[in-house]
Structure 1
């Protein structure tokens, strides 16, 4: 029986797998090569947007802010010069009482002073008698002494001593007479009384304070002002109050009194010399009574507006626009940032007053920050003077 030869199958499982893998690879290559080419666009970079103010120079008179407490222009402590018993007190001599100049306030017992005055007059008479005796002895001595006699022999020092005794006695009489006249306490000027402490029958010591009198009509307010701002008060840019001439700078005062906010007009008449440790100078404002206004009372806290110099081409910016180094960010015609140094003459609240460094029409960032860089491209929104956004711009102005 003949042997049958064995045959190898053409499609074995291994060959099928290889063939399948090759077909899939060819298919993927064909799909990849036939796919449309994709173009990836670079993402657009958007410039940051800021609010800006347009510079508008104008003529402006500065009003410098200060504050203080009203005090009487004149204040005096009332007291007797000598010790004595109080025998009479005026009904007006009490806290809050109003008195006129020369009005009697209180009176001391005058008998001790009258007795003292009589004694001083007696001393004066004795001194005059002693002087006449010294004169008589001097006349007699001059007739009998030799030409080269001493001054003592001619009674010259004796006569001088007698004359000095008379002068001393005369001044003693004058002093006691003045004390007797002042035994009645009078108001030296018209005003209002406070801190009164006196009663009939009380014995007071010499110089003991019985009350205080202040001028209720004329008030003063001591106003602090930074030393570097003094030149803003004078029209010529000089330091006011440096010469002998009094100042005359108007000032408006506002304060709450009797439940309402009231205003008073005053005048700064002088400046205290020197500068305090925190570089402050002090101005004195005087307020005189006005028949049409409620008078300013002592102790009222007031806000002051001091009328300063007038400037041409003044630029007013919000304080938020400032960056360190007295500068601002300006957006140029191409929409890029420029750091600009400016001349600040005054700062008040949220406003800054500038006299140099900016031109009309330039745009300044409303909110300055030191984190920006020179030449940075920005978009802007222009703010109108009322605070709203008037228009938007993308870089340069057209």
Structure 2
């Protein structure tokens, strides 16, 4: 009985296991069929929503800024050349590269021995010419006196001849007496003619003496100029450049000794495109006197100089395009001729324009605006000007609309979006910051150790660093030069 009971229990367990296997197989089959039938059903469509940054379009008056690169030049540059050859016997102590000289200061003296000898000879020749002129003047006076005496004698002879003729007519005189009187009168007239010739010769001699005197004076002036040219002076105050002269050297005529540059009278020359040049013309086609700012980056500190446009180049230049514009600068401490600077020109103001980021404008000249149901709408606009990362636009119905500032290929008209307004935009960096004592001391030490910075600019930077609020841009530029 026990064996039978155990056998039946084993059969029961086997049947239960087989039933569980069949049930599991059925569940697996149902799951597979359900999954396969689910894949055949179409998916449920769901609209995608994009988050976009918006900026309100507002009309404003904007002054565009034109940026270019230019070079500082001096408006007064004088080449110092030797008018004549000679040996250098004296140089001013400031006659060196970068030396500063005053107006009228004697810079170079050449050996004046030959020029002085020529001047002395010219003075002697002038004295001889003056003596000759006085002698010719006296000779002319004597010749005129002799002519006057001869004329008086001729008049007496004529009156004597007339008396003899009267006596002959009354029968008192003889023909021989009359003939003798006629011969005497003829001789007197011949003497007068000779004295007139002598007077003409004396006048010619006087004229020649005057010409010789004029030539002697010209020679004296030329010799004096040659002697003065032995001394070279500064016509205006400035800085010497390109000095290549030492004391004792022999120089030839017209040899270049140095250049005198006026560092206080500077201008900047910069080239612009033809389109940019047209924007700087007035209604009459003349160049406007637009304000100009020249900026030079010196070890993290900007040297700035203000000026105005005063002229442009006469020609475009061979193989060049655009125009070269010259702007006269005002006070420009730290600038030197030859500096390569960044030039910004403030153009005439534009009214009723909208300023937006450049990323909001596409190639077809449209922007995306937000409609009432949070969908995008395309608005055509007119590009007025590009200003760095911004554009100046005009368009109908654009004012007051919220514009997408960052366009992507996924955005277009009719797309539903999630607006990100002011709370989602980055806050602008502060203009000034407050420095800790350690940070301030590190910046001051770096500026004081910079020998390439002009002294005036260094004092200005140190005064800014000493104030409680320091310009953030200044701190950023100095720290970028420090490597930290």
TM-score normalised according to structure 2 size: 0.56
CA distance in 1, matches of 2:395, 2:311: 29
CA drift of 1:124 comes to 4.7
CA distance in 1, matches of 2:204, 2:390: 81
CA distance in 1, matches of 2:403, 2:134: 93
CA contact (8 A) 1:49 1:379 kept: no
| 1:319 matches 2:319 | no
Q: 1:384 to 1:45 in 2, by over 3 A?
A: closer
CA contact (8 A) 1:251 1:266 kept: yes
Q: 1:108 to 1:364 in 2, by over 3 A?
A: same
SS in 2 for 1:309: coil
Match of 1:329 in 2: 367
* CA offsets 1:290-309 (integer angstroms, 9 cap, x no match): xxxx4323333322232332
Counting helix residues as a fraction of each chain, which structure ranks higher? 2
CA distance in 1, matches of 2:392, 2:411: 23
CA distance in 2, matches of 1:93, 1:202: 14
Q: 1:46 to 1:352 in 2, by over 3 A?
A: same
Q: 1:119 to 1:385 in 2, by over 3 A?
A: farther
* CA offsets 1:329-366 (integer angstroms, 9 cap, x no match): 34374745435140413x23222223555631234443
Deviates more, 1:202-211 or 1:43-52: 43-52
Deviates more, 1:62-71 or 1:204-213: 62-71
Please, which runs of 5 or more residues in structure 1 have no aligned partner? 1-34, 146-152, 391-398
CA drift of 1:84 comes to 0.8
Query: Of the two, which has the highest radius of gyration?
Result: 2
Please, which runs of 5 or more residues in structure 2 have no aligned partner? 1-36, 145-191, 195-199, 428-484
CA drift of 1:197 comes to 1.6
CA contact (8 A) 1:225 1:283 kept: no
Match of 1:241 in 2: 287
Match of 1:266 in 2: 306
CA distance in 2, matches of 1:316, 1:121: 80
Q: 1:332 to 1:165 in 2, by over 3 A?
A: farther
| 1:252 matches 2:254 | no
* CA offsets 1:128-160 (integer angstroms, 9 cap, x no match): 6479859959x99xx969xxxxxxx99999998
Match of 1:225 in 2: 272
CA drift of 1:204 comes to 0.4
CA distance in 1, matches of 2:342, 2:240: 27
Match of 2:84 in 1: 82
* CA offsets 1:225-272 (integer angstroms, 9 cap, x no match): 3343356557x7665537xxxx4x433332223x34133232124121
Counting strand residues as a fraction of each chain, which structure ranks higher? 1
SS in 1 for 2:254: coil
Match of 1:72 in 2: 74
Deviates more, 1:309-318 or 1:127-136: 127-136
Deviates more, 1:260-269 or 1:100-109: 260-269
CA distance in 1, matches of 2:193, 2:390: 97
Match of 1:280 in 2: 323
* CA offsets 1:32-80 (integer angstroms, 9 cap, x no match): xxx9xx9968735657776554312222223322232223332222122
CA drift of 1:217 comes to 2.5
Q: Pick from 361, 370, 379: which aligns with 2:416? A: 379
Aligned residue runs from structure 1 range 43-122, under 5 A: 43-44=45-46, 46=48, 51-122=53-124
CA distance in 2, matches of 1:322, 1:98: 55
Aligned residues: 330
CA contact (8 A) 1:331 1:338 kept: yes
CA distance in 1, matches of 2:134, 2:57: 91
CA contact (8 A) 1:252 1:263 kept: no
SS in 1 for 2:122: helix
CA contact (8 A) 1:72 1:298 kept: yes
Alignment RMSD (CA, Å) = 4.3
* CA offsets 1:196-232 (integer angstroms, 9 cap, x no match): 1222221101111111221123322113333433565
